[in-house]
């Protein structure tokens, strides 16, 4: 990781241009805590751009939803309230089903499969974002998603009535199909929600649970590897159009490095954070065979629903992914 950090700095320095006539400050809202690996990667990206453009563009990150809450970030960038920001792609699935390509249960359950699925979906996502006045810079996956519970659960029937933290359409639908009660909770509010009993369960990565110290309220994490959702960094397309070619090249280079570093971190962070959950006192391990089989049946239902909602373009993404296997 030290080599990656040095490479970011070296790239920024060698790309530095002459002192600009006018500097711009770009505030970059982010939904997750500063200690989260996505936020850390974003902070390094911001530093790379600031250094690499010779200060022509200074990016300042605002983690933990401190500038805009997670659900408001994309709209803020579209409307020019902020020039750049990071958000969960599947958080927009209510706008267009294609945004939920990475939350199809049990389709891509490993980092390798996640990369192949992203390759298949990226052109459609870039086109969709462009239509919304947004330009994609980079995207990084979360570790595989598992299920958190306060009490031991060994079957779908035992999930009935449990209050479940949802963060996109797929998680809300998962709650409905398992009999749980979906409650929309932003990442920055997770710790408080569990501590106060607003929710007693969620599907998320070990990373999120570790960052929010959920062992203070929850006791079980089941490694079901449901999917690997992606966060992405976007820039307002009008703002992007006004950036000099030299600075665009720097930003693209920094984005490429950030994506590489983010992917590396996601993989390394998986085992580290699961051990962190254990050290916090949680029981961490695979779900029972019964629960796994029942969840996969629910996954088939959700996959068919997504394909129907996403239409031909969604089917083309899944077909392209399957053909890459």
Domain contains 262: yes
Whether residue 157 sits in one domain with residue 47: no
Whether residue 153 sits in one domain with residue 122: no
Whether residue 198 sits in one domain with residue 260: no
Whole-model pTM: value is 0.89
Residue 221 and residue 270: Cα distance in Å, rounded? 13
pLDDT digits (tens, 9 = 90+) for 170-192: 999 999 999 999 999 988 899 99
CATH assignment at residue 304:
3.40.190.170
Whether residue 260 sits in one domain with residue 293: no
Whether residue 90 sits in one domain with residue 125: yes
Domain contains 325: no
Domain contains 319: no
The edge-to-edge listing of strands for the beta sheet with 134-141 is 84-88, 230-236, 134-141
Domain contains 132: yes
Determine the structural domain holding residue 296 and report its residue range: 146-226+274-312
Cβ-proximal residues to 284 (8 Å cutoff; 6+ apart), any chain: 206, 220, 221, 223, 274, 277, 278
Q: How many domains does the chain have?
A: 2
Half-sphere exposure of 182 (CA within 13 A, CB side): 16
Q: Using an 8 Å Cβ cutoff, are 34 and 27 in contact? A: no
Q: Residue 7: is its pLDDT beyond 60?
A: no
Q: Beta strand pairing status for 220-222 and 146-149? A: antiparallel
Which CA distances in Å does 278 have to 160, 224, 281, 284, 286?
Answer: 26, 16, 5, 6, 13
First to last CA, the chain: 30
Domain contains 317: no
Residue 321 and residue 315: Cα distance in Å, rounded? 10
Whether residue 13 sits in one domain with residue 118: yes
What is the structure's pLDDT at 63? Answer: 97
Share of the chain above pLDDT 90, in %: 91
Whether residue 180 sits in one domain with residue 60: no
Whether residue 207 sits in one domain with residue 118: no
Residue 60 and residue 147: Cα distance in Å, rounded? 34
Domain contains 86: yes
Whether residue 300 sits in one domain with residue 265: no
């Amino acid at each position: 990781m030290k080599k990656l950090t040095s490479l970011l700095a070296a790239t920024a320095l060698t790309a530095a241009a002459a002192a600009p006539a006018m500097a711009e400050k770009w505030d970059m809202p982010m939904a997750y805590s500063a200690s989260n690996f996505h936020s850390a990667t974003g902070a390094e990206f911001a530093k790379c751009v600031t250094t690499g453009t010779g200060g022509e563009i200074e990016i300042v990150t605002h983690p933990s939803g401190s500038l805009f809450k997670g659900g408001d970030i994309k709209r803020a960038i579209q409307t020019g309230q902020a020039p750049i920001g990071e958000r969960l792609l599947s958080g927009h699935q209510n706008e267009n089903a294609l945004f939920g390509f990475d939350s199809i249960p049990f389709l891509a359950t490993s980092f390798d499969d996640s990369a192949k699925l992203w390759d298949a979906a990226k052109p459609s996502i870039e086109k969709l974002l462009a239509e919304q006045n947004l330009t994609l810079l980079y995207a990084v996956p979360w570790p595989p998603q598992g299920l958190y519970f306060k009490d031991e659960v060994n079957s779908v029937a035992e999930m009935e009535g449990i209050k479940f933290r949802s963060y996109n359409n797929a998680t809300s639908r998962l709650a409905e199909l398992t009999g749980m009660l979906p409650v929309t909770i932003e990442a920055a509010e997770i710790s408080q929600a569990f501590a106060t009993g607003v929710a007693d369960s969620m599907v998320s990565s070990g990373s999120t649970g570790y960052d929010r110290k959920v062992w203070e309220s929850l006791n079980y994490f089941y490694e079901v590897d449901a999917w690997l959702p992606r966060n992405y960094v976007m820039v307002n397309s009008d703002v992007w159009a006004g950036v000099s070619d030299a600075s665009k090249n720097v930003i693209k280079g920094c984005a490429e490095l950030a994506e590489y570093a983010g992917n590396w971190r996601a993989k390394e962070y998986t085992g580290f954070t699961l051990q962190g959950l254990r050290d916090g006192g949680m029981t961490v391990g695979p779900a029972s065979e019964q629960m796994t089989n029942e969840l996969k049946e629910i996954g088939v239902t959700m996959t068919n629903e997504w394909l129907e909602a996403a239409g031909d373009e969604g089917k083309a993404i899944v077909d392209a992914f399957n053909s890459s296997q």
